[in-house]
Amino acid sequence: MVLAKRIIPCLDVDHGRVVKGVRFLDRREAGDPVALGKRYSEEGADELVFLDITASPEKRKILKEVVRAVASEIDIPFTVGGGIRSVEDARLVLCNGADKVSINTAAVEKPSLISELADIFGSQCVVVAIDAKRRYERREGKTVVETAEGPCWFEVHIYGGSGGKPTGMDAVQWAAKAAELGAGELLVTSMDKDGTKDGYDLSIVERVNIPVIASGGAGRPEHFFEAFSIGKADAALAASIFHFGEYSIWEVKKFLAERGVPVRI
C-alpha cells in the first residue's frame, strides 16, 4: 500500500487575519482564516495548518476563538501552532477543534515538552516546526551541504523580531533530536525560500527519518512534484499560490496524479 502525498494550505494568522510575506518579512493581508479554511476544505485539501505567527513573539496565548471558528467549518485534519508553551496550552487548542499541535520556539527552549505532549496526547498529535536558514560557513559538528554558492549548514531560527532569532543550532541535528523525543511529524520551512516561489529547499527533508512536511518556496505545481519525487517529502505546504488564486488545490493534485504521484483526488 502506498500512502497518498498530502497537499496542505497554511494560514499564517496575525491578530485574526491571514497574512503572507517573503522570507518572513513584508507581510500582506490574504483574507479571513475562517473563509479560507472552509474554501480549502471544500477544494480538496488533505489537511490545514493554522499558525498564530505573533503569539510567541508577543508572549501571549493563541487566539482560541479563531481556532474554534475555523475548525467548525472544515472536515479535514487541522494542525494549530503559535504560542503553545505547555501541556495546558496544547490541551486548550485540541479542545477547540485542532487534531494536532505544532510547537517551535517552546520546543527549542524546552525540548522535554515534545516528550510530555507525545506521552499525553500521542506522537501523532505532535508536530515540531523547524524554521531553518542557510548559513555559509564550516563549523565542526554542523551538517555541511555543498551548494552552488559554497558549503553551508542549516541554522534553526525561532521567533524574535523580524526574520526570527538565530539559535546557533544545527537544523538537521535538531530534527533528529525532535524525532527521538517523540515528534510524530516535522514541518520544515526554509526561511531563504519562504514566499519566493522559487521552489522548496529539500536539503533537510532528505535527511529526516520521520514524516516531513516541506514548506517555503512553492510557486508552481512542478515544485510539489520535486518535493515528492526528489525530496521524498510526505506532504507539501503552501500559502500564497493558494491564497491569491494562482493555482487551485485541484490543479496541483491533477498535475501530480498525471505524473504518477499518489494523491487523493
Indicate which residues carry an active-site annotation: 12, 131
User: How far is 210 from 225, CA to CA, in rounded Å?
Assistant: 20
Are β-strands 100-103 and 25-31 bridged in parallel, bridged antiparallel, or unpaired? unpaired
User: How far is 203 from 68, CA to CA, in rounded Å?
Assistant: 35
For residue 168, the Cα-to-chain-centroid distance in whole angstroms is: 21
215 near 237, Cβ under 8 Å? yes
What φ, ψ does residue 108 adopt, rounded to 5°?
Answer: -65, -45
User: How far is 133 from 257, CA to CA, in rounded Å?
Assistant: 31
Taking only Cα atoms into account, the Rg of the chain, rounded to an integer number of angstroms, comes to 17
Which SS3 state, helix, strand or coil, does residue 17 take?
strand
The CA–CA distances, whole Å, from 209 to 103, 172, 183, 249, 261 equal 19, 11, 11, 27, 20
* CA pseudo-torsion sign 92, 83, 79, 118: negative
